[in-house]
Chains A and B, each alone.
Chain A
Amino acid sequence: MTNGHYGPYGGRFVPEALTAALDELDAAFRSAKEDSAFMQELRALERDYTGRPNPLTYAKRFSEHCGGARVYLKREDLNHTGSHKINNVLGQALLTQRMGKKRMIAETGAGQHGVATATAAALFGLECTVYMGLEDTRRQALNVARMKLLGAEVIPVTAGSQTLKDAINEAMRDWVASVDTTHYVLGTVTGPAPFPEMVRYFHSVIGIEAREQILGIEGRLPDAVVACVGGGSNAMGLFSGFMDDEQVILRGYEAGGDGVETGRHSARFSGGTPGVLHGARTYVMQDQWGQTAPSHSISAGMDYPGVGPEHAWLHDTGRASYEPVTDAEAMEAFAILSKTEGIIPAIETAHGLAGAMRIGKELGPDSVVIVNLSGRGDKDVATAARWFGIDLGSTVTNELSPEMREGR
């Protein structure tokens, strides 16, 4: 099997009890990739269920805010369930069946991965449990309701910071005890091998489509492809299509929160150091003793102290670069895209859009930039309304938790 390393990053740092399951998963993944029946089933699901290929939309009016660069949106928001997350989940759900397991568990931050997993579980008739930090269940109440409607059990995690990292801890604890019957559908390109490689593989369809589409429209490769980076799965999916095109700039945008200088952020490459978290060596926000430091972002899906190990390696080798985008910059981009293109993005995605505005100005008016529109913003309407001071009125307010009404 592969050693699962990207330079010094990646690997497997897990309790021995999980080794057999990871070996089983690795073997199932490798045999499935070579199995034309499996791949045909996956491609058919992508086409008939997810709705792929999704468009590459030229954002004419948004481009005016990007230094005149021609900015294209890869429309993962148009996938069934509203984000890129479904690409990975359908692949892992097919693997769950292939391994003869009956139950899927998942962690979720913004709820998009949880919704996608609950969706696939419903489609395949599998049991589903989703772990979500209590703080995130409040920030993303709409997605909690969606998961429950889809038949999943949602367990709020009260440990630690009550966010994505704690949800991953809890999912791992479940998995150690249930591994005979349960597959852990990890939602991003991190965790122990083979997860980073496997999740990238299932998202590589994003980059493959985008490359073909831009060559068809522009007749040339883009100057840059950009994406938001929480764990980094949507970025890795897009980047993978252009990895070997060395002239194409790959740039990821992390959550700068209140500003990297305030310490309240999730910018691992600006404020983190190499360490081990959740089974992989990567860049981690940690203190001098190796204790995980609190992360912050207005966006639940970006609020994570680690990052995919391949991103760590791309950062060190210089093939990709990473910059922080503050909450305020992301919300500005959120508003601009909504008003210029009629597309309300997820707040995670808005970090990538802010990046497109920045890099477009850097590269100038003749440049071509692709930004991954990784998810739609319906789930974020309440957060955005609070940010922009929009009065939600009594009808809507009644559906919000007391904390939300108080504006917390």
Chain B
Amino acid sequence: MNRGIYILKRLGLAIPVMIFGVTMSFLILYLGPIDPVGSILGRQATPADIRQLRMALNYIDSAGNPIPLWEQYFRVVSDLFLLDFGDSWVIQRETPVTTLIINRMPATLWLGFWSVVIALGVGVPVGLYAGLRANTFRDYASSGFGIIWRAMPNFWLAVIISGLITAGGALSFYRTAIVETQVSGTPDALGNLFTNVEIFSGIPYLELLFIPVPNPGPMFVAFKWILPAALVLGSSSMGNEVRIGRTAVLESINSKYVETAKAKGVSPRRIIAKHVGRNAIIPLLPVVMGEFYLLIGGSVLVESVFGINGLGNLFFSAVLGPDIPLVMALVFIFIVIQILFNISQDLLYTYIDPRISLGERE
């Protein structure tokens, strides 16, 4: 199948899924027994204030008649799909939702990036190692590590690790190692991770272009700061990677083509790199992609334990608010990310393993 047509087709199929997800969230928030007007104004609200706010929130029209739910629904959904997310109601009154999200984004991206990298950097090698040394003590030790690591609740691990790092804990040396850093709260170094170097200064229009150059100092501080949280957030994926990496290696190492390569005298190193490793990546792919998705949910708990002001924390306070425009916008963004990941995952399959043709999956 043509790749372009395939992508279009997948995007077309994604639309009903998106509509369903948004509708479900809408129904939960608008039909459910929550009262944003009450929580915005508090108990001392006068009827006039309430009336005015209801009008501002599009619950009633200017004549005081309630706007039917389906009309509200179409307004909300069309605004979302036109990327007009409106203003926050509770968290920061009158601030555009987009501003709030953009302000909180860097912390979550930084956390998510490192949790994926660390989980991959530890989980995959350990899994491959266990598979190559199958049924030895070392295999059992590393598989056991994966199984336990996978069963540990993120929030509990976060509590234990952050507790051990605090002053007086067994791991308190971590704070002062190399550079003294905090370990909870949002890393303030996030603001100057990069210096923007203008390369075309003086040339009209082109001078707006710049190259972000990493600043090693703040980058290391921010990395060290976020490392415990990233380790926790990546924990369950790390366990999955160990487990699946191991079985994948076991499956490909016993296959005929590895035997053939051995018979031809290919060096063990080359066999592992070219024949076993590559094939072992295929079943790992959904786990790695799924990891991005788990991060979105997991960041709520990890961010709240480590006190990081990221999107997860924002969502949590928005739900408790309840800040309906903010919740709807975040849910919408999460759905879009999720769908894009699913599609890119299926595309990636065809690059890694040419035997899989487009449209075969699903």
Q: A and B: partners?
A: no
